[in-house]
Amino acid sequence: MSEFVNVGLIGYGYAGRVLHAPLIQAIPGLRLTTVASSKGDQIRAALGDVRVCTPQELIADEHIDLVVIATPNTEHFPLAMAALEAGKHVVVDKPFTLDLAEAEKLRAAALRKDRMLTIFHNRRWESEVLAIDEVLQRGVLGRVVQFDCHMNRYRPVVRKRWREDAGPGAGLWFDLGPHMIDMALHFFGLPQQITASFAILRDGGQTDDWAHVILSYPDKRIVLEAMNLASGSLPRSILHGTQGTWVKYGLDTQEAQLQAGMSPLDPAFGIDPVPAVFYAGTGETVEYPTPRGNQLPFYEGVRDAILHHKPAPVSSRDALAVMAVLETTFRSGEQQRTLPLEFKLPQEQEWGESERSAGEKQ
């Protein structure tokens, strides 16, 4: 088997330019050879000697092993399906698809074609999430009873772009909800019930710019909040437990660093200077240094999955769970009532799981 993977990137908007391309180029064993976009001059100036073509030409190229899809949300399903049917491995930016039915069809196609399918839930590798992983492992909170996650922005002016226009896949919750839901499921698994509310609060808004979602578990509640009219230094994450409260302020630094042109291989990449704070029930206050964020392991995992048949960095099973919760939040908001989560995780083996199981038995 070849020791490198030829990568084709579809889409060179914000996500393709700022996130995917720099991370792919930083990974030994991944070769970004082709980009499908209308921004040929910009791509060549930034990436050098790469082929620029249409999505259809990229998918048909027999030399490309991996297709990365970083397009508007409505294009995720048809492009991913075409790539899988052409025998390619596939990375899809979040949200995976527009609904659970599309997600299930993609997963079935990947299993049928025996190809890796993974989703860019990159925030699993942010400093905030790694810090929460650490505090949960420490057990200093006791039993966690509530997790609040806030992804708030101050963007009072409605811009003319697909994310803020009315239509399928648009809106703030389609943008940020998959990140927040994936975090919640990563930490605590599937909820039993979901209560959601959405609104348009900005002047001239065409789609939701405010979201408030509660995921209910037998012993805890998770509150997810996103809005475009929140300014100032507000907490990002709060964990309440039987022994105290943990709080994290400040954004992960990686996206801003990539946007500024920093290489993900720079020693300063991902360093988060803002510590987390634990307020113990005894009155003691303890600061915990925040782990360095590092999204490179996502694409390292993609490389190893393709070259060595390792499990994908984010399983398609996990992606289905996120889509099931996301779809239920929208139904809850429309019906203005709490709904049960009627979803069971599929049992079919993922890419690389049979090899992992064989290795464990040995």
Q: What is the CATH number of the domain that holds 190?
A: 3.30.360.10
Is residue 274 a part of any domain in this protein? yes
Is residue 219 one of the residues assigned to a domain? yes
pLDDT for res 323: 98
Single pTM value for the model: 0.94
Residue 48 domain-assigned?
Answer: no
Whether 283 is covered by a domain: the verdict is yes
pLDDT of the residue at 283: 93
pLDDT at site 352:
86
Could you list the residue range(s) of the whole structural domain that residue 135 is in? 123-296
Structurally, the chain folds into a number of domains equal to 1
Is residue 247 assigned to a domain? yes
361 within some domain: no
Q: Three-state secondary structure along the chain?
A: CCCCEEEEEECCCHHHHHHHHHHHHCCCCEEEEEEECCCHHHHHHHHCCCEEECHHHHHHCCCCCEEEECCCHHHHHHHHHHHHHCCCEEEEECCCCCCHHHHHHHHHHHHHHCCCEEEECHHHHCHHHHHHHHHHHHCCCCCEEEEEEEEECECCCCCCCHHHCCCCCCCHHHHHHHHHHHHHHHHHCCCCEEEEEEECCCCCCCCCCEEEEEEECCCCEEEEEEECECCCCCEEEEEEECCEEEEEECCCCHHHHHHCCCCCCCCCCCCCCCCEEEEECCCCEEEECCCCCCCHHHHHHHHHHHHHCCCCCCCHHHHHHHHHHHHHHHHHHHHCCCEECCCCCCCCCCCCHHHHHHHHHC
Q: What is the pLDDT of residue 2?
A: 66
Q: Has residue 344 been placed in a domain? A: no
Would you give per-residue pLDDT tens digits along the chain (362 residues)? 468 999 999 999 999 999 999 999 999 999 999 999 999 999 999 998 899 999 999 999 999 999 999 999 999 999 999 999 999 999 999 999 999 999 999 999 999 999 999 999 999 999 999 999 999 999 999 999 999 999 999 999 999 888 888 889 999 999 999 999 999 999 999 999 999 999 999 999 999 999 999 999 999 999 999 999 999 888 999 999 999 999 999 999 999 999 999 999 999 999 999 999 999 999 999 999 999 999 999 999 999 999 999 999 999 999 999 999 999 999 999 999 999 999 999 988 888 886 555 444 44
Does 225 reside within a domain? yes
Query: How confident is the model at residue 234, as a pLDDT?
Result: 86
Question: What pLDDT, on the 0 to 100 scale, is given for residue 355?
Answer: 59
